[in-house]
Amino acid sequence: AQSVTQLGSHVSVSEGALVLLRCNYSSSVPPYLFWYVQYPNQGLQLLLKYTSAATLVKGINGFEAEFKKSETSFHLTKPSAHMSDAAEYFCAVSEGGYGGSQGNLIFGKGTKLSVKP
Amino acid sequence: DAMVIQNPRYQVTQFGKPVTLSCSQTLNHNVMYWYQQKSSQAPKLLFHYYDKDFNNEADTPDNFQSRRPNTSFCFLDIRSPGLGDAAMYLCATSITSPLLGNEQFFGPGTRLTVL
């Protein structure tokens, strides 16, 4: 069975500092991996995704993530935090197939990012 | 722009009074999902439609039902809302394409309050 673990339910950084949000997954098949961001009272917006192409994935708003199979990790980073990055971030995994339940996303519990001025 | 639309954005209902939330999409995606998200928690999948095939998660209460009359629309019916059903309800869509890799596109959500 697939699962996702996000280390740290709450991360606080200063504006301009490095953002690192951790995500580890387990999957018995090659996974698809996603990072979503959620602002208060809004839906989830895709930041980036890994679908078995390049292991270093660049997303929107300056975020990137690296797929490391040996470490079963997909950590999210941004070199310099901005106040507007304050939000909740969810890592998710789905099976490499598609259609039916194979397309379902398994979410981590989320990490709330705070950015201090 | 192609998108997922949810109406209303905020819904207030009374304990035990049936309520329907709606979702529409202009993406022409064949899969539609309903999630329940409580405060500071991850979204919890309630059910999904793969084309016309309905797939219910094992732990989704019978109080929750869904209808998909056509490709574009999907409804979530809560037959007798309880206080514990107060949450954000998210609709999402996806298309079976290897290019998109099961990416799901989310609507803005409906915040349900039960009085």
pLDDT truncated to tens, each residue of chain B (115 aa)? 769 999 999 999 999 999 999 999 999 999 999 999 999 899 999 999 988 889 888 899 999 999 999 999 999 999 999 999 999 999 999 987 767 778 899 999 999 999 9
Nearest to B33 by CA among B89, B80, B86, B81: B89
Work out the pLDDT band at A97, boundaries 50, 70, 90: low
User: Mean pLDDT, to the nearest integer, of A4-30?
Assistant: 93
CB within 8 Å of A69: residues ≥ 6 apart: none
Nearest to B74 by CA among B101, B107, B111: B107
Say if the Cβ atoms of B106 and A44 lie within 8 Å.
yes
- B109: nearest CB among A42, A90, A105: A42
What are B54's strand-pairing partners? B49
Nearest CA in chain B to A88: B40
pLDDT at B17: 97
pLDDT at A100: 56
**Residue A109 with chain B: CB contacts under 8 Å:** 41-42
Nearest CA in chain B to A87: B40
pLDDT at B97: 74
DSSP B5: E
Work out the pLDDT band at A2, boundaries 50, 70, 90: confident
Q: What is the pLDDT of residues B42-51, one digit of tens each?
A: 999 999 998 8
DSSP B8: -
Per the listing, tokens 């001025």 go with A117
Phi, psi of A83 (to 5 degrees): -55, -35
User: Mean pLDDT, to the nearest integer, of A93-103?
Assistant: 66
A90 Cβ under 8 Å from any chain B Cβ:
yes
Q: What is the pLDDT of residues A50-70, one digit of tens each?
A: 987 788 999 999 999 999 999
**Residue B94 with chain A: CB contacts under 8 Å:** 103
